[in-house]
Amino acid sequence: MDSDQVSPFGFLPHLELSEIILGVKEGRFFQGRLNVSRLTIEEATINVQGLNQEILISNFTNQNRACNGDIVAIEILPKS
């Protein structure tokens, strides 16, 4: 993604709704409710139906402007 597409705050642009819906149907994305930590906004978890574990979203930039309680679609990245 080009650096001119990143907002001044470091957020990537949102995907089109049609791309998100297709990604969820194809299993590329997972959908769930974002639960921001009460201790720090730098961490949040998502309970995804069908997975047996919470997904940790570590760092505010990866939350990409989502707020506590929002229904979000996520892509699980490989461990680095």
Which pLDDT does position 2 carry in this prediction? 45
Which pLDDT does position 64 carry in this prediction? 87
Q: What is the CATH number of domain 3-74?
A: 2.40.50.690
**pTM of the shown model:** 0.77
Tokens of 27: 């299993």
pLDDT in tens, 17-32: 999 999 999 999 999 9
| Contact (Cβ atoms closer than 8 angstroms) between residue 15 and residue 29 | no
Whole-angstrom distance, CA of residue 25 vs CA of residue 76? 15
How many CB atoms neighbour CB 46 within 10 A? 22
Which pLDDT does position 3 carry in this prediction? 44
